[in-house]
Amino acid sequence: MSRYEDPVVISCSISGAIANRDQCPAIPYTPEEYAAEARRIVDEGGSQIHIHARTPDGTPSYEIEDFRAITEAILAEVDDVIVNYSTGAIGIPIEKRLSYLRELRPDVAALNMSSMNYAKYSKRRKDFVFKAVFENSFDTIIEFLTAMRELGVKPEHECFDAGHVANLDPLIDMGLLEEPLNVSLVIGVNGGIRPNARNVALMSEQVPGGAEGSNNWQVIGISRDQWRLIGAALALGGNVRAGLEDNLYLPNGEMARSNGELIAKARQMAEDVGRRAATVAEARQLLGVPKRERAAA
pLDDT surpasses 60 at 1: no
pLDDT surpasses 70 at 5: no
Asked if residue 148 belongs to a domain, the reply is: yes
Asked if residue 297 belongs to a domain, the reply is: no
pLDDT surpasses 60 at 245: yes
Distance CA 83, CA 108 (A): 6
Closest alpha carbon to 232 in 175, 264, 270, 268: 270
How many structural domains is the chain composed of?
1
What CATH number is given to the structural domain containing 60? 3.20.20.70
158-167, 206-215, 223-232: segment of lowest average pLDDT: 206-215
Distance CA 230, CA 251 (A): 11
Q: What is the DSSP letter of 186?
A: E
pLDDT surpasses 90 at 6: no
Question: What pLDDT, on the 0 to 100 scale, is given for residue 212?
Answer: 82
pLDDT surpasses 50 at 296: no
Encode pLDDT of 39-62 as tens digits: 999 999 999 999 999 999 999 999
Asked if residue 46 belongs to a domain, the reply is: yes
Encode pLDDT of 11-48 as tens digits: 999 999 999 999 999 999 999 999 999 999 999 999 99
pLDDT surpasses 70 at 71: yes
Domain limits for position 183: 3-287
Backbone torsions φ then ψ of 278, nearest 5 degrees: -70, 145
pLDDT surpasses 80 at 286: yes
pLDDT surpasses 90 at 149: yes
Asked if residue 294 belongs to a domain, the reply is: no
Distance CA 113, CA 158 (A): 6
pLDDT surpasses 90 at 95: yes
Asked if residue 295 belongs to a domain, the reply is: no
Which of the four pLDDT bands, split at 50, 70 and 90, describes residue 3?
Answer: very low
Closest alpha carbon to 144 in 108, 118, 117: 108
Q: Is the peptide bond before 60 cis (omega within 30 degrees of 0)?
A: no
Q: Please give the sequence-ordered ranges of beta strands (E in DSSP) within the chain, or none if there are none.
A: 7-8, 10-13, 48-51, 82-85, 108-112, 116-122, 127-134, 154-159, 182-187, 216-221, 239-242, 276-277
User: Rounded mean pLDDT of 109-122?
Assistant: 93
Question: What pLDDT, on the 0 to 100 scale, is given for residue 297?
Answer: 45
Question: What pLDDT, on the 0 to 100 scale, is given for residue 4?
Answer: 45
User: Rounded mean pLDDT of 63-91?
Assistant: 97
Question: What pLDDT, on the 0 to 100 scale, is given for residue 2?
Answer: 46
Q: How high is the mean pLDDT of the chain? A: 94
For the chain, give the longest Cα–Cα distance.
50
pLDDT surpasses 60 at 247: yes
User: Rounded mean pLDDT of 151-180?
Assistant: 96
Encode pLDDT of 273-284 as tens digits: 999 999 999 999
Q: Which helix (H) or strand (E) is 227 found in, with range?
A: helix 226-236
Distance CA 8, CA 6 (A): 6
